[in-house]
Amino acid sequence: MNIQQLKYFIEIANTNNLSAAARNLFVTQPTLSLALKKLETELRTSLFTHTDKPFQLTRTGLYLYEEGQKIVDQFDQLVVDIHNMNENPDEKKKQIKLGITTLFSVQFMKEISQYLSTHPHIDLVIKQDGSPYLQGLLNQNELDIGLISFPNLYPETLTIEALGTSTKGYNVHVVVPESNPLSQKEELTFKDLEGQRFSSLTTNFMLGRLLIDRASDCGYKPNIVLHNDDLQVLLHSVNKNESICILPIEYREVGKSDNVKWIPLIDKYDYFPIGIALRKDYHITKDIKDFIEIIKNN
């Protein structure tokens, strides 16, 4: 899902009419219809129902509309802010390449926006992915700095400074459909999860690796029916595929998770602290120092 698809969807919801929305967006009706179908396919859900009146929002459609409007507003404001900051277009901006996970990008959005508004000369290039993958990019000099989770997979070349802010890390939970007998449990271990169907993050993420490694330690291979690095897709898959999923409980505040229960996972790796990651040979500029200080204000 991209910002254009989101804008198309919101205009259809506002007009309740495909031809009117296409006219307002200056696109053809077939283009808009195809974009909507692609969006519903990507999200694996219907966003509109046509039973009583055309283009009435479903429950998931209403959630996407309400939360998506906030994202579009933030995006549009960000574009305006960047244009306003670009007082001297001939001046070449300094580029900083930041690696950050999807969850942390939401949790630290305020601080990142603050940094951009106070450092108009910086072109902040953001790469979102899992901590293991981002650590690999840092190790290969393809990123300047990372906001990622422990453990440090490259201790010889990288340093990770733990954050002592209000956001210090994430706690691992098992997301279970209410229809699953496991939903009656107050806590779970990896041994309890044997024989279950899993929707899982890939090994680009710490939790994707954790599932495979800890299941192996318990003597079984997890039956993974879906691999995906989109946390909302995984939550949707829990009910659709009658599976379970291992996710940070902190995502529950920003994600949509109906008819499921979040159960604490009791394990030696049930908590992952986060920190600022840099290469040991990296020269820390004033702009990088400023970024780190703003992040620590979270």
Q: What pLDDT shows up at residue 137? A: 95
Q: Are residues 57 and 119 in the same domain?
A: no
Residue ending a domain, among 67, 82, 97, is 82
Q: Are residues 158 and 236 in the same domain?
A: no
Q: What pLDDT shows up at residue 83? A: 66
Q: Are residues 174 and 256 in the same domain?
A: yes
Residue ending a domain, among 82, 99, 124, is 82
Q: Are residues 230 and 88 in the same domain?
A: no
Give me the CATH number covering residue 119: 3.40.190.10
Q: Are residues 153 and 277 in the same domain?
A: yes
Q: Are residues 190 and 267 in the same domain?
A: yes
Q: Are residues 176 and 254 in the same domain?
A: yes
Q: Are residues 158 and 279 in the same domain?
A: yes
Q: In 3D, which of 107, 108, 78 has the Cα closest to residue 251?
A: 107
Q: pTM of the predicted model, to two decimals?
A: 0.65
Give me the CATH number covering residue 72: 1.10.10.10
Total number of domains constituting the chain: 3
Q: What pLDDT shows up at residue 86? A: 60
Provide the domain limits for residue 182: 169-272
Q: Are residues 176 and 268 in the same domain?
A: yes
Q: In 3D, which of 35, 145, 148, 138 has the Cα closest to residue 96?
A: 145
Q: What pLDDT shows up at residue 84? A: 65
Residue with tokens 């953001």: 126
Q: Are residues 144 and 287 in the same domain?
A: yes
Q: What pLDDT shows up at residue 33? A: 86
Q: What pLDDT shows up at residue 87? A: 55
Q: Are residues 214 and 279 in the same domain?
A: no
Q: Are residues 161 and 290 in the same domain?
A: yes
Grouped pLDDT means (10 residues each) for the chain, 298 residues:
84 85 81 86 86 80 88 80 61 84 82 90 90 94 93 93 82 94 95 95 93 95 92 87 92 79 94 92 90 87
